[in-house]
Amino acid sequence: MEAYLFVTLLFVYVITAVAGNQNTVRKIWTLSFICAAFLTAGALFALRVKHQEVMMTADNFNWYFFLYVFGALAFALGLINLWMYRRALWQMLRASENVQKE
């Protein structure tokens, strides 16, 4: 499922990159990554609050499904965000001097 989701999101990213300007595309994809991360955290919180037992109930299974879907979505969106910000990340990782702004 992750591979299909990643290929689909990559296809949508290519379409938006061709159709829109770079700043808008970065805002859209970064915001979608943040939303997927918050939804994943919400599913984890719901599982923690419900005190999952050894045997899953149907209600717990729903939360695990949401956790799986949004976790896979966050992973695929994270890879796309790494690609979008690769130059800035590479420069940040290669910087060896401490530059402090006053």
* CA pair distance 24, 17, nearest whole angstrom: 9
Q: Are 66 and 59 in contact (CB under 8 A)?
A: no
Note the pLDDT tens digit of each residue in 52-70.
555 566 666 777 787 788 8
Helix (H) or strand (E) holding 95: none
**What DSSP string runs through 18-57?**
HHS-HHHHHHHHHHHHHHHHHHHHHHHHHHHHTT--SSPP
The confidence band for 96, taking pLDDT boundaries of 50, 70 and 90, is low
The confidence band for 98, taking pLDDT boundaries of 50, 70 and 90, is low
Q: How far apart are the first and last CA of the chain?
A: 48
- What's the pLDDT score for residue 4? 81
